[in-house]
Amino acid sequence: MKYLLILSTLIIFGLTVTISAQSETKSDETKVETKTYSVEGMTCQGCVSSVESKLGKIDGVQEYEVDLEKGEAVVEFDPEKVKSEDIEKEFEKSPYKVTVKETEKNNQQE
């Protein structure tokens, strides 16, 4: 009887730990949006570094890739911390004009 009680306690404890671990995993998941922005005004690698530096300081921006040849930046961000429009506004007083690419604006309106 004692053996059965210990065994059932261990099984219940194991299930509790498993359920607890699964709920923690789900709560750690954050939503991430990826948008491509047109970046006007970049002429050199120094410009790319400036844009990357500014993106890196925006709270909620997780990853970014700036391409000089394409004149664009692909940005991954947490929409609960920063909105796409806020990213554009961060560049208003800089020498670069940053806007969401037109094809993505059309997809947002649908």
Summarised one tens digit per residue, pLDDT across range 6-27 is: 645 546 655 454 454 444 444 4
Facing residues of 65 across strands? 74
**Separation CA 52–CA 35 (nearest Å):** 15
The predicted pLDDT at position 27 comes to 45
Residues 63-99 pLDDT 10s: 999 999 999 999 999 999 999 999 999 999 999 999 9
For residues 84 and 99, give the distance between their C-alpha atoms in angstroms, rounded to a whole number: 9
Q: What is the pTM of this model?
A: 0.67
* pLDDT tens profile 51-65: 999 999 999 999 999
